[in-house]
Structure 1
């Protein structure tokens, strides 16, 4: 995936309310796209530009440069085979005419009462020029976001009928544009008065991180919008909308893209609560709790969402490339020394997929090595499940390996023995194993390999962590 995150949480001019809610929501999106528990895109495919003080011209130029460079590197001419997400979080408003919708940046502009801004029509034009053969999903978390939909419409005569490569194990989808809006063209969006998140951003990220009941393995943008709308609930709140102003043979909003995680107790924003600063309102009502996931019992006492209107900016452009593997955004690894036969360990986790069992929500990289230049080998650990698994990500260019493999096993055991968990796939950019028990520090080891031109290229040494 290719991702660009732009925007601001404060503005140098004009009467635009600053809030930590914008920055925390932007970081929540970044986590969702980078972490293995989310979509797990490689870090080099993310351009983070949030709270930068560069001008609109500089930011547009950088976004265009980044999209072209990544398209070239991934061998996706003009975006062919890419799914591009453009996510804007921030203040949105109008200039000159109701149809001229703009998003505001954190730099000073040439107008005294208005910071630097980007016309959404310019963003649409830039993406059409740089990645015209891509499919695009636009997420606008800003006031009056519905007014931006017309900017992404184009003459049907110029629509490309090029199929996008199979992505995330989904059926191929055609070029097109879908827009998810926080509010209609006439409504302001809102943020939490404690500065924890935007209400729209929280609802969408809650659906994405927690998942929904049922057997669906993946969710479409339209389903995410519907469930986010249900979480917001109150008639007093703006209603999220999804539009598809440009299509070829397929509506991107109907394609099942997002993994259905089924982690109903996960709260994506908890790690950022220390950064949240309340916004002083005219009424000191308490903020709501994080909405319950779809299908949860109704609370005995109705909750109200007390918050403030806003119009604000972040541009996130995210593009997914089917064959590029995950790269975890990790922190400092935690260490819990436990014996391999930890009492109470759920043995049904052995061999299971970390995402399917909800163990990827706190995943972090324990050890990583690039000793073999053809691939990145990682050992990933879940503290809540006390499990580990291995992941191998192809780094060679051009093309894909004939096969890619990862193995994880208890230290001192045979990598080819019955205690090892092995994943091997042909013609793909990354692979991860099922889980083994983590146990004490250094108790798990991994090896990886790729096959290129009939020649195996294994890890020079085992990796333990």
Structure 2
């Protein structure tokens, strides 16, 4: 005989998260437990071999519960292991694990205080070898606290993939109440969850479509649950799923497992309906058989032979709807009573069958009071779904006819009330279906909006990245043009140029003026606020378009760009012969620290076009400052100017000394007394100073050459200075 181990876990009440409490979870777990304590469910008397570990609403921690489950499975020799969970399930925050909540799960630490399915599966793995294992998850994803973990569309394949990855061993099946992102819904009037409640009803009623089969499989049951759920809720119904890893013996989900109650009914065996499924109702009930005008007969078990050999009117089995069964039962009763014949009928609703019994008893009382004896044996309808024979007396008087008419009226009223109730329930179901459809539409619209927003955000980020890349490309291109302008046209003496740029002199610039004009023109366009590029553009333009260069230099002078004052001054001299304006430009450039302007101002002093008012503007000081700033040739010019200045100072000192000596001699001569007795002194012949030798023509030519060399060092004349700038 099969040894079956059943583990039931989950929670319907939460000590630290009361918003998740749901009593339907506990009712579902109890109903699932009863399935395996009822011998008829498994097709044989195996309830003694079905061992159950009930951990539902256990206050133990996730670790303790895992340990109890592993010990339960490891210490027993089970053929089949069933692990059933009913409660809330959610995806972990990292979206890598599936968790189920327990009684001690806390809202603040939901992940660490819940049971991670993968951990349980890994701990059980070696103990499930050689066993058929069925994992049943009736998990609800509708809790407000767990919605935040699931984006729309995320669960499409996660649950299936994750659970099969967690239980990869062959011979394992996973059954779960919802597929993808569905919610394990229940209607308000339901006392159990949608999945477990429907599964219990399916196993209690059996499969009519397979009434020839004594046993049905897990897959048969789950597919019937899916069908009934869809019929009840429409397109909005969640989709229960079953998945298995095939073993060497085949797909265990298709192997016979449960007894088929429909087959038992077809074979005339007593079964329990889903509505009355309970361990307390395992034995078939008995009912009394009252007669008209006679004491009630002894109890007759359901399914026993009729008390009279009267002919039996056989009716077909009714549809599984209560209204149809009710009408069939009432119609059979009317035929039996009014027609005086004997009829047999099905009754599947105990309340209406009891009502018919009361009507017949009432008719019997009426006949007895009128002293009209009548003998009739009437079979009381059974609560079991099996035909029952009834016997009525052939003689019916007016009172019986009236009672039958009253019964017919009441039956019609009951049918009308049942139809109204059906319509009300249908309207309620339609309203719920419409609400669910609206909810689905809202979810689809929200998902569509989210996808569109994500697409728009991706497009925005892509455009931003492209814009940044384009800006970087333009920046690099601009920097490249700026560097090229510096390389082609920078002034070596411009203190504003980068230190890494050597600069070029006018002679070299003239050879590459065309390229310099193009590069510096683009650099000015890219960096209009940088005066250096405009200055270098003017340098490149000076040889071919001096007036254009003068306009640019004038603009730079207004901006007090130091290097612009020297070329502005010489262009003013070249184009306008305006020396005072040039001197003024040289003075301002020298004051701003431009060495070229210092040398040009010293040249103006040498040409007697400017007389310095202070020693700071003296020729020697200007050369000294320019030499200190590294201006080429300024050091030698400074030395020459210094020697000339010293020679001039020596001449002035000698002249001053000679003048002072002559003055002293004149004063001494005036103070000397003249004696008359003494002979007048004879004037002494004046010793003539040797005449200063005039330089020869050859010496004059040499001096001129030396002076020319000095002047060449200083600047080479006005024209040379212009070209330097």
TM-score by length of 1: 0.51
Q: Distance in 2 between matches of 1:179 and 1:188?
A: 18
Structure 2 matches for 1:98-247, cutoff 5 A? 98-109=95-106, 111-112=108-109, 116-143=113-140, 147-153=158-164, 175-194=170-189, 196-213=191-208, 214-233=211-230, 234-245=234-245, 247=247
1:337–1:154 Cα change, 3 Å: closer
Corresponding residue for 1:255? 255
Q: How far has the Cα of 1:194 moved from its partner?
A: 3.2
SS in 2 for 1:140: strand
2:40–2:259 contact (8 Å) kept in structure 1: no
1:83 maps to which of 69, 80, 83: 80
1:199–1:106 Cα change, 3 Å: same
Structure 2 matches for 1:37-436, cutoff 5 A? 37-39=40-42, 40-42=46-48, 45-71=51-77, 82-109=79-106, 111-112=108-109, 116-143=113-140, 147-153=158-164, 175-194=170-189, 196-213=191-208, 214-233=211-230, 234-245=234-245, 247-262=247-262, 268=274, 342-343=299-300, 345-347=302-304
Q: Distance in 2 between matches of 1:344 and 1:42?
A: 28
1:270–1:9 Cα change, 3 Å: farther
Corresponding residue for 2:35? 32
* The structure with more strand, counted as a fraction of residues: 1
Corresponding residue for 2:645? none
Corresponding residue for 1:19? 22
Q: Distance in 1 between matches of 2:96 and 2:246?
A: 18
Q: Distance in 2 between matches of 1:113 and 1:41?
A: 37
1:28–1:268 contact (8 Å) kept in structure 2: no
Map Cα deviations across residues 168-204 of structure 1 (whole Å, 9 max, x no partner).
Answer: xxxxxxx511111111132221233235010111111
SS in 1 for 2:243: strand
Structure with larger RCO (C-alpha < 8 A, sep 6+): 1
1:343–1:66 Cα change, 3 Å: closer
2:285–2:302 contact (8 Å) kept in structure 1: no
Q: How far has the Cα of 1:123 moved from its partner?
A: 2.4
Corresponding residue for 1:378? none
Q: Distance in 1 between matches of 2:119 and 2:99?
A: 9
TM-score by length of 2: 0.34
1:14–1:113 contact (8 Å) kept in structure 2: no
1:59–1:269 Cα change, 3 Å: farther
Q: Distance in 1 between matches of 2:11 and 2:179?
A: 22
SS in 1 for 2:86: strand
Q: How far has the Cα of 1:148 moved from its partner?
A: 3.8
Instruction: Give unmatched runs, 5+ long, in structure 2.
Output: 142-154, 266-270, 289-295, 307-381, 385-725
Q: How far has the Cα of 1:3 moved from its partner?
A: 1.2
1:45–1:70 contact (8 Å) kept in structure 2: no
1:28–1:269 contact (8 Å) kept in structure 2: no
Corresponding residue for 2:316? none
Q: Please provide the CA RMSD for this pair.
A: 3.7
2:222–2:241 contact (8 Å) kept in structure 1: yes
SS in 2 for 1:244: strand
1:249–1:116 Cα change, 3 Å: same
1:137–1:335 Cα change, 3 Å: closer
Q: Distance in 2 between matches of 1:200 and 1:335?
A: 30
Q: Distance in 2 between matches of 1:336 and 1:211?
A: 23
Across the two proteins, how many residue pairs are aligned to each other?
Answer: 271
Map Cα deviations across residues 297-352 of structure 1 (whole Å, 9 max, x no partner).
Answer: xxxxxxxxxxxxxxxxxxxxxxxxxxxxxxxx669999989899634752369xxx
Q: How far has the Cα of 1:155 moved from its partner?
A: 11
SS in 1 for 2:212: coil
2:10–2:56 contact (8 Å) kept in structure 1: yes
2:17–2:105 contact (8 Å) kept in structure 1: no
Instruction: Give unmatched runs, 5+ long, in structure 1.
Output: 72-78, 160-174, 273-328, 350-382, 386-465
SS in 2 for 1:192: coil
Q: Distance in 1 between matches of 2:254 and 2:50?
A: 28
1:210–1:68 Cα change, 3 Å: same
1:336–1:216 Cα change, 3 Å: closer
2:204–2:272 contact (8 Å) kept in structure 1: yes
* The structure with more helix, counted as a fraction of residues: 2
1:247–1:87 Cα change, 3 Å: same
Map Cα deviations across residues 86-138 of structure 1 (whole Å, 9 max, x no partner).
Answer: 22111000112333111100114594456831111122223312222211112
2:28–2:197 contact (8 Å) kept in structure 1: yes
Q: Distance in 2 between matches of 1:258 and 1:24?
A: 21
Q: Distance in 2 between matches of 1:348 and 1:242?
A: 44
